[in-house]
Amino acid sequence: MSLKHVWIVFKKEVKDISRDRRTLLTNLLIPIILMPLLFTFLGGSMKKMEKDITENITVALTRESDTEEIRNLLENEVFKNYPNIKLNGSVDNPAEAIQNDKFRFVIDVEKDFSSRLEQGIPYTITIHYDQSDTKSSGSFGILAEAIRSYSQKTVKNRLIEMNIDPQILEPVTIQQVNAAKDNASGNFMIMMMLPMMASILIAVGGIPAATDLVAGEKERGTFEPLLTTQAGRMSVLFGKYLTVTLFSFVSVIAQLIGVVIGGMINPTFFTMVEGGSGELSFSIPTGALLLSILTIITLGMVFSAVQLAISTYARSFKEAQTYLSFLIFAAMIPSYATMMMQPDDLQLYMFIVPLLNAIASLKMILGSVINYTYLGIGLGTSLIYVILSLMFAAWMFNKEKYLFRN
């Protein structure tokens, strides 16, 4: 293998791919445009949904409960401190009214509630709602909390009238102490999304280049003349391998640029989590960050070699596309399986399994739970996988029954 020939092949392939407008469009422009649009529309729809759930809670009464006494109970007692709950109208058929989105809830109160209340006998408030509807099920907690608050207030008033301290009902109080690092809760979304996105993008970013560089050249009839040049097969292989690796990372960088732009347009997208501060906060040691970045880079190198080997095996461009599409599923399964996993849940085996080691390394540093031994194992195993994948690609490239398969 000649480094000079590798460099010549690399430059030639980069120029050819750079002239392909489709590749530039799909690998560079679309990710940069698509991610901000995703952040804008997805973030906007989530905020609108949250606002509808918390601010527009429409309630009706059943026809039997539509009395002045019950209305006064709900408006002046139960919902007094909840201006977002609006009582309006009555219905004959609660299920039909809810399913037609006329009201989010329909309430039925026992008619003799006042006499029961005076006698200290519990009475029932029945709430009709649609559990399958996101807004209805999301608002139910607010409505139930209003009724619970009223119930607790009634109990306290009774105890005071009996000269009993209401604290007798609370023998234990709960005091919460957040043991997480400063603003760690605000990093939840990015800790969940970034490792998943990075691993999938690295796994599939080089597919367009790998498909074109071997299978595409076979189809165009330019591959065999390339092998007749002074450059040996290993020089050709490594030149193409470096090209696939380069465009794999170019695709990832384009996606990350889109994420940054999207984050600037909608800064709260990654912090939309209960208890979050609304700000991202990271304190990552330089050594840990370097180990994690190197693990991601080596992961990209592994997938580039595998993609090149598959493209070598394929007879045509379309066949290569079909085979390489399965890599998307190979990347998505572990990415989605670990999406909700927290840094404290990471196990040693995850830093040994390919792809999982990159995901685990990113989660670890984003969660500020640093274990240099695990990070070192993740990088070490990735280097081993790089060597094995290159050996596999070289073996395929030296087998003429695969190289000239038609």
Asked if residues 241 and 7 have their Cβ atoms less than 8 Å apart, the reply is no
**Nearest residue to 58 (alpha-carbon basis) of 81, 76, 79, 44:** 79
pLDDT tens digits along 264-286: 776 665 555 444 444 555 567 88
Q: Given this model, what pLDDT does residue 381 score? A: 92
| Cα separation, 9 vs 217, whole angstroms | 14
Q: Please give the distance of CA 84 from its chain centroid, rounded to a whole number.
A: 31
Asked if residues 197 and 251 have their Cβ atoms less than 8 Å apart, the reply is no
Of 355 and 173, the structure prediction assigns the larger pLDDT to: 355
| Cα separation, 234 vs 398, whole angstroms | 9
Instruction: Walk me through the domains of the chain, giving residue ranges and CATH numbers.
Output: 3-40+181-403 (no CATH), 52-169 (3.40.190.10)
Cα distance between the two ends of the chain: 27
Say yes or no to pLDDT of 367 above 90: no
| Cα separation, 153 vs 80, whole angstroms | 12
Within 10 A of 187 (CB to CB), how many other CB atoms are there? 24
pLDDT tens digits along 301-334: 888 888 888 888 887 788 888 888 888 888 888 8
Residue 230 is which amino acid? Answer: Q
Distances (CA, A) of 293 to 13, 64, 188, 199, 207: 26, 66, 20, 12, 21
Asked if residues 84 and 59 have their Cβ atoms less than 8 Å apart, the reply is no
Q: Given this model, what pLDDT does residue 157 score? A: 85
Q: Tell me the average pLDDT across 227-251.
A: 81
Strands 85-91 and 105-109: what pairing?
unpaired
pTM: 0.65
Q: Tell me the average pLDDT across 178-199.
A: 66
246's tokens: 């380069």
Sheet holding 57-62, edge to edge: 85-91, 57-62, 105-109, 125-128
Say yes or no to pLDDT of 240 above 90: no
Asked if residues 374 and 360 have their Cβ atoms less than 8 Å apart, the reply is yes
For residue 299, the SS3 value is helix
**Nearest residue to 204 (alpha-carbon basis) of 330, 103, 83:** 330
| Cα separation, 97 vs 95, whole angstroms | 6
CA angle 39, 139, 342 (to 5 degrees): 50
**Nearest residue to 143 (alpha-carbon basis) of 197, 185, 106, 186:** 106
Q: Where are the alpha helices (DSSP H) in 121-187?
A: 134-161
Q: Which pLDDT band holds residue 380 (cuts at 50, 70, 90)? A: very high
Q: Which pLDDT band holds residue 385 (cuts at 50, 70, 90)? A: very high
The dihedral sign for the CA sequence 226, 228, 230, 236: positive
| Cα separation, 348 vs 341, whole angstroms | 14
| Residues found in the chain | 406
Asked if residues 291 and 375 have their Cβ atoms less than 8 Å apart, the reply is yes
Say yes or no to pLDDT of 227 above 80: no
CA angle 251, 255, 260 (to 5 degrees): 145
Q: What is the dihedral of CA 70, 72, 73, 79, to 10 degrees?
A: 120
